[in-house]
Amino acid sequence: MFLNLSLFLLRAITGLILFVAGAGKVFGLFGGYGMTKTLEAFSSMMHISAPWAYISMYTELIGGLLLIIGLFTRPAALLVTINMLVASIYVGWNNFFAGQGDFPFTLCICSFAILLVGPKAYSLDAILFRRREKPKPSYR
pTM comes to 0.88
What angle do helix axes 73-91 and 50-69 make, rounded to 10 degrees? 130
Secondary structure (DSSP) of 13-40? HHHHHHHHHHHHHHH--TT--HHHHHHH
Tally Cβ neighbours within 10 Å of residue 109.
15
Instruction: Provide the pLDDT for residue 136.
Output: 65
The Cα–Cα gap between 122 and 11 comes to 10
The reported pLDDT for the residue numbered 95 is 73
- Dihedrals phi, psi of 70, to nearest 5 degrees: 75, 40
* Measured distance CA(60)–CA(76) in Å, rounded: 9
The helix/strand/coil state of 88 is helix
pLDDT of residue 135: 60
pLDDT in tens, 73-124: 999 999 999 999 999 988 877 778 887 889 999 999 999 999 999 999 999 9
Domain boundaries, the chain: 14-122
Distance, in Å, from the CA atom of 92 to the CA atom of 24, rounded to the nearest integer, reads 23
